[in-house]
Amino acid sequence: MNKNHNLFAILREAFPADLQTTAVETADTPSPLFYTWADLERGTAMMANLLDSLALPPMSRVAVQTEKSVEALMLYLAVLRAGHVFLPLNTAYQAAEIEYFVGNAEPAVVVCSGKNFGWISKIAFVAGTRHVFTLNEDRSGTLLDRAAFQPTTHQAAQRNAEDMAAILYTSGTTGRSKGAMLTHGNLVSNARVLKDFWGWQSNDVLLHALPIFHVHGLFVAIHGALMAGCKMIWFSRFEPKAVTTRLPEATVFMGVPTLYVRLLGEPRFDQAACRNMRLFISGSAPLLLETFNDFQARTGHTILERYGMSETVMLTSNPYRPESARRGGTVGPALPGVGVRVTSEKGAPVPAGEIGNIEVKGPNVFKGYWRMPEKTADEFTSDLWFKTGDVGKIDDSGFVTIVGRSKDLIISGGYNVYPAEIEACINDMPGVAESAVVGAPHPDFGEAVVAVVVAKPGVVLKGADIVATLKQQIANFKVPKLVQVVPDLPRNAMGKVQKNLLRDQHRSAFKA
Ligand code: MCA
Ligand code: AMP
């Protein structure tokens, strides 16, 4: 038989020889739960057998919106094992958002929390989904009820490197959310590179406190630990005090910058708490130099900042060794096997140190956007480099610095918010003439969403009412932290709203 490129099969090869050791220990369940490697093997086999029993077409999408739990992790692995396509959804998404993703991806299976079954199953059945299961934080729900009757062994489905493994929805550089199709080959190549580059070992302990519906917590963190066959201390949510308490048992931690800012706000977070730590990794949003320096001063550790995207997994990383080579404010050189270049508006590569558009190439770069061939074509150059929408420079030693974005994107606490989506919701409200949404610096979230709104003549609008309405419609992290009602929006001679002016006006809105 040909070699199996199924990511699960490759991760499974890395499980330790002794399957009775602990793979995952939960840190914030009512009492700690210890899952051995044998439990992961058995649990994923039973769930994969359940998926097989549904006789789904090959590479069906399995959409999942559940709270973080070890069973949710097993579900991810089981979807890979059965050869289907994992589609993770942020738990903050509300009905209209889920309706779009489910309508677009047409999943054969949807798994949701029991508390949301009523409305999610309605959306799913309308979209043609045949199977909706529930999975709750306390290990109850129909998914596990049904899987309990399945055999405990399973042969991983045979997959090629170019077969799809996951779809991650992202807005890319413009427009409506697009499903980035990541292949088994994309994920395997990145996981292998990072395992070596970051020096993962079987005696590492990863403290996992990120959500598992995005690249950072799902792929970068989990694949690293599984590839190394090392233990994870598993938090269902990030809480700085509790994380500080368990940190002395850990060697690796990954976070978005907000997590580092919040750890620094915890008085007990100090050198002693970090005494066994080997590596702190930051990404998903820019890490302020101030946080990088404060962290070094407090703990003696230098955060390693890296850069990636949903479409490409990880692209660049600051050096692992020596620690002193890590440079704050940069995201480091391209990872082995990854090409990163900076080009001018005309598409020509610019000299070292000059600012331009960041473009990338490599085995980690996605296959394209789900059922959007034209959008896919738009985002690749004629020589097949992917246009990231990030703006930056590369110095003589290959270090990449991101200086901004050509895409209209706000990154708040590591979550992406697309102004156009929020503006569309606000513009639909009665009494609103128009609106503009921008990001403003925020001491906790890095950037926060600000909406500037113009009322129709004779209408009095209140910011609080706009916020209250938005909270019913969209994920809470997208809801503006500030709404300002103004007589009109600043425009240039072409009539285009001058968002730069609005950003300048709100630069100090959230000053600590
Ligand atoms: C929560 N809130 C937020 C955010 N999170 N507001 C803006 N931005 C946010 N990120 C708001 C809620 O709406 C709520 O407001 C209030 O804060 C408290 O909510 P809660 O759920 O209690 O917040 P939290 O648990 O403290 O969450 C904050 C957090 C979380 C831990 C920083 O946002 C988080 O886990 N972020 C990580 C995101 C991540 O994993 N990104 C990776 C993307 P109200 O009370 O008004 O309702 S992967 C990626 O980008 C690429 C590929 C890469 O390079 O990694
Ligand atoms: P996503 O669409 O969630 O995959 O987010 C990808 C975007 O996050 C990138 O295009 C960057 O704009 C941003 N990003 C990720 N890592 C970093 C970083 N270390 N510094 C600055 N921006 C980052």
Ligand 2 nearest-atom number relative to CA 282: 19
Examine residue 305 and state whether it is found in any structural domain, yes or no.
no
Which residue's alpha carbon is at the smallest distance from atom 15 of ligand 1?
476
Ligand 1 nearest-atom number relative to CA 445: 8
**Which bound ligand lies closest to the C-alpha atom of 282?**
2
Ligand 1 nearest-atom number relative to CA 209: 35
**Which bound ligand lies closest to the C-alpha atom of 391?**
2
Token pair of 58 as six digits: 């090959």
Write out the H or E segment, with its range, that includes residue 308: strand 304-309
Q: What is the pLDDT of residues 489-510, one digit of tens each?
A: 999 999 999 999 999 999 999 9
Ligand 1 nearest-atom number relative to CA 215: 48
Count the helix, strand and coil residues of the chain and give each as a percent rounded to the nearest 5: 30, 25, 45
Instruction: In whole angstroms, give the CA distance from residue 201 to residue 224.
Output: 9
CA of 415 to the centre of ligand 2 (A): 9
Which residue's alpha carbon is at the smallest distance from atom 33 of ligand 1?
413
Q: What is the pLDDT of residues 7-65, one digit of tens each?
A: 999 999 999 999 999 999 999 999 999 999 999 999 999 999 999 999 999 999 999 99
CA distances from 28 to 149, 235, 236, 245, 430 (A): 28, 6, 7, 12, 44
Q: Candidates 327, 360, 402: which one to mutate for ligand 2, based on the most atoms within 8 Å of Cβ? A: 402
User: What is the total count of domains within the chain?
Assistant: 2
Which residue's alpha carbon is at the smallest distance from atom 43 of ligand 1?
214
Examine residue 354 and state whether it is found in any structural domain, yes or no.
no
Does residue 175 register a pLDDT over 80? no
**Which bound ligand lies closest to the C-alpha atom of 217?**
1
Does residue 420 register a pLDDT over 70? yes
Q: What is the pLDDT of residues 425-438, one digit of tens each?
A: 999 999 999 999 99
Calculate Rg over the CA atoms of the chain.
Answer: 23
Q: Which residues contact 343 (CB under 8 A, 6 or more apart)?
A: 349, 350, 356, 357, 359, 381
CA of 257 to the centre of ligand 1 (A): 11
* Polymer length in residues for the chain: 512
Task: Give the HSE-up count for residue 355: Cα atoms under 13 Å, Cβ half-sphere.
Answer: 10
Does residue 173 register a pLDDT over 70? no
Domain final residue, candidates 189, 210, 237: 237
Collapse the DSSP code of 299 into the 3-class scheme (helix H, G, I; strand E, B; otherwise coil) and give the result: helix
Give residue 454's domain range: 409-505
Instruction: In whole angstroms, give the CA distance from residue 329 to residue 24.
Output: 33
Question: Residue type at 390?
Answer: D
Instruction: In whole angstroms, give the CA distance from residue 164 to residue 182.
Output: 6
- HEC sequence for 208-230: ECCCCCCHHHHHHHHHHHHHHCC
Examine residue 303 and state whether it is found in any structural domain, yes or no.
no
Which residue's alpha carbon is at the smallest distance from atom 49 of ligand 1?
284
Domain final residue, candidates 237, 256, 282: 237
What residues line ligand 1, using a CB cutoff of 6 Å?
Answer: 210-211, 214-217, 237-238, 256, 258, 283-284, 308-310, 412-415, 445, 476-477
Which domain CATH number covers 461? 3.30.300.30
CA of 99 to the centre of ligand 1 (A): 22
Q: Is the pTM value of this prediction over 0.85?
A: yes
Token pair of 116 as six digits: 């949301």
CA of 400 to the centre of ligand 2 (A): 13
Which residue's alpha carbon is at the smallest distance from atom 28 of ligand 1?
413
Examine residue 332 and state whether it is found in any structural domain, yes or no.
no
Which residue's alpha carbon is at the smallest distance from atom 4 of ligand 1?
477
DSSP characters over 149-177: TS-S--PPPP--TTSEEEEEEE-TTSSS-
Examine residue 265 and state whether it is found in any structural domain, yes or no.
no
Question: Please, which residues bridge with residue 147 across strands?
Answer: none
Domain final residue, candidates 237, 255, 275: 237
What residues line ligand 2, using a CB cutoff of 6 Å?
Answer: 170, 215, 283-286, 305, 307-310, 331, 388-390, 402, 405, 411, 416
Which strand ranges, in their side-by-side order, compose the sheet holding 34-36? 34-36, 22-26, 231-234, 205-208, 252-255, 279-282, 304-309, 313-317
Q: Which residues contact 21 (CB under 8 A, 6 or more apart)?
A: 36, 37, 231
The reported pLDDT for the residue numbered 512 is 73
Which domain CATH number covers 21? 3.40.50.12780
Examine residue 52 and state whether it is found in any structural domain, yes or no.
yes
Examine residue 245 and state whether it is found in any structural domain, yes or no.
no
Provide the percentage of residues in the chain whose pLDDT is more than 70. Answer: 99
The reported pLDDT for the residue numbered 176 is 76
Examine residue 26 and state whether it is found in any structural domain, yes or no.
yes
> Tokens 């002395």 — which residue?
248
Instruction: In whole angstroms, give the CA distance from residue 404 to residue 422.
Output: 21
